Structure formats: structure tokens, C-alpha cells
């Protein structure tokens, strides 16, 4: 078990090292017989909106009674999937797929938790954590997430990282449930729902990883910040190419 003060420090360190625009978000998955979180109930919120609030500094909880997204409600085992979504008709209606069979398969392949297993989702900014999270979720510009993936790879001995997504349920399934059930980092580019329902910017993406990787990830981010991260952001190789080409735009045809 990691001390709460250390979790807070690691959340702050990750934010400062990468220049994140908001806090990494801790998600504690509360099952029956676990300690219930005392926080503002996120009534009428989608899970992606709860994460957005956590990123901005709020501590909220999501339950079967308060969650607003039917797909996320099924993913967390809170409620059955509505027939309109299960059949694929819903995605055709939203203009996401042109065929019901495609939508049906997209939901059939969704990674889900067992019905009734989870009673609450405790969502909070990592740098102000009051309990130990199960999953850490980070939403930000793709370049910043890249360094987290690299640090995670170091913690796993260099093993390549695979991503799984249906471009649906990006925050609930891709960034939370898959990391929780499969004990690994997963990433995605967002989805129709979270981009519509939150302040997720066009150049941002999302990833999540089991919290037990947090110490190793932060340690390697600190290592990367000594040389690799600032060197890459300094674009030294691009500067050398620009100088070689006489100071013109290295990507323009006129400079060739």
C-alpha cells in the first residue's frame, strides 16, 4: 500500500514534469464491503464528465443511480445495456455507423465488469487524493501522454504497448475498465461521447493504467526529464535540418 502523501506527491510530480493542463485523475473502484467514499455525488453526470471534474480539482462519486450514460452504466455493471444500443440501432441513429450489424458488434466486443460487482466509482484529482486509487487516468495532449507510455514501458522492462478501442467508451472502457481488468496501460483517442460531453480538446487523447505502476512511471519520468524530454521538445534535429537548408522551411518544396 502506498502512503496517501506519496500518491499526492506523485500526482503533482507527473503534472509538473509533463506540463499537464490538469491533474491526473485517480479512480477507486468501490465494490461491496469496501469503504464507501464520502464526496459529492455526480448526479446526472456521465463518467467522462466526472473525470473532467476530477481533472479540474473536484472529488465526486458515480453510482448506478447517478450515472447518466447508458453505455458506461453497462460497462461498469450498473445496468443492462438498452436494447437500442445492443441492437446497433442507436449508433445508426447517432450517425456513427451506417449499418446496425456494425454497431451491434461494437457493443458485443465491449469489455465490461460483472453486473452488480461495483457499487461506486470514487473519482478525484491525484494530487489531492484522499485514498489510494485503483486506476490513474490522464487526459491531455498526445505528446505528453507519449512520455507516460514510454515510462510505463520502462517499468515493464521495455515490453511494447498495445492499445484497444472501439472509438466508443473511451474513458470508461478504454482508460478505466481495460486497465483494471487486464492490469495494463491502455490508451485511446477519445470517442464520440466524451468529445461531445466534455471539454476534451481536438489534440488531446486519454490513457489509463493500474495505480501500482505509478511509482515506476514517475521515477522514469524524472529520469526522462533530465535529458530526453527537454531535448525532444527542443527539436534540435529539426533545427539542424533547417540550418542545413539555409534557414528555410525544412518541410516546404521551395527549400529542396
CA 237 vs CA 1, 97, 98, 141: distances in Å = 43, 42, 44, 22
Contact 147, 18 (CB under 8 A): yes
In a domain, 243, yes or no: no
Give the three cell numbers for residue 133: 486509487
What is the per-residue pLDDT for 250? 61
What is the per-residue pLDDT for 255? 45
Nearest of 119, 187, 190 to residue 153 by alpha carbon: 187
What is the per-residue pLDDT for 37? 82
Residues 6+ apart with CB under 8 A from 152: 161, 185, 209, 213, 216, 217
In a domain, 248, yes or no: no
In a domain, 82, yes or no: yes
What is the per-residue pLDDT for 256? 37
What is the per-residue pLDDT for 142? 97
In a domain, 30, yes or no: yes
pTM over 0.85: yes
In a domain, 102, yes or no: yes
In a domain, 249, yes or no: no
In a domain, 240, yes or no: no
Residue 142 domain boundaries: 4-235
Give the three cell numbers for residue 185: 496501460
Pair type for strands 40-41 and 60-62? parallel
- Tell me how many domains the chain contains: 1
Q: What are the per-10-residue average pLDDT scores of the chain (256 residues)?
A: 92 98 97 85 87 96 94 95 93 94 93 95 96 97 98 97 94 97 97 93 97 98 97 92 76 49
In a domain, 134, yes or no: yes
Amino acid at each position: 500500500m502506498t502512503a496517501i502523501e506519496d500518491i499526492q506527491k506523485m500526482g503533482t510530480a507527473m503534472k509538473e514534469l509533463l506540463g499537464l493542463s490538469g491533474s491526473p485523475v485517480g479512480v477507486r473502484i468501490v465494490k461491496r464491503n469496501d469503504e464507501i467514499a464520502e464526496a459529492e455525488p455526480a448526479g446526472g453526470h456521465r463518467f467522462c464528465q466526472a473525470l473532467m471534474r476530477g481533472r479540474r480539482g473536484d472529488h465526486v462519486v458515480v453510482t448506478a443511480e447517478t450515472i447518466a450514460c447508458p453505455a458506461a452504466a453497462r460497462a461498469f455493471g450498473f445496468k443492462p445495456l438498452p436494447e437500442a444500443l445492443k441492437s446497433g440501432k442507436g449508433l445508426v441513429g447517432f450517425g456513427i455507423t451506417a449499418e446496425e450489424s456494425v454497431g451491434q458488434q461494437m457493443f458485443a466486443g465491449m469489455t465490461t465488469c460483472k453486473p452488480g460487482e461495483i457499487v461506486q466509482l470514487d473519482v478525484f484529482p491525484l494530487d489531492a487524493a484522499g485514498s489510494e486509487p485503483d486506476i490513474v487516468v490522464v487526459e491531455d495532449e498526445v505528446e505528453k501522454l507519449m512520455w507516460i507510455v514510454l515510462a510505463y514501458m520502462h517499468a515493464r522492462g521495455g515490453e511494447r504497448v498495445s492499445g484497444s478501442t472501439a472509438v466508443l467508451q473511451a474513458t470508461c472502457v478504454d482508460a478505466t475498465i481495460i486497465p483494471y481488468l487486464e492490469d495494463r496501460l491502455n490508451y485511446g483517442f477519445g470517442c464520440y461521447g466524451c468529445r461531445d460531453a466534455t471539454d476534451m480538446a481536438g489534440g488531446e487523447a486519454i490513457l489509463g493504467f493500474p495505480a501500482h505502476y505509478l511509482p515506476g512511471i514517475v521515477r522514469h519520468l524524472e529520469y526522462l526529464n533530465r535529458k530526453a524530454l527537454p531535448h525532444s521538445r527542443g527539436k534540435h534535429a529539426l533545427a539542424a535540418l533547417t540550418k542545413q537548408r539555409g534557414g528555410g522551411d525544412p518541410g516546404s518544396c521551395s527549400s529542396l
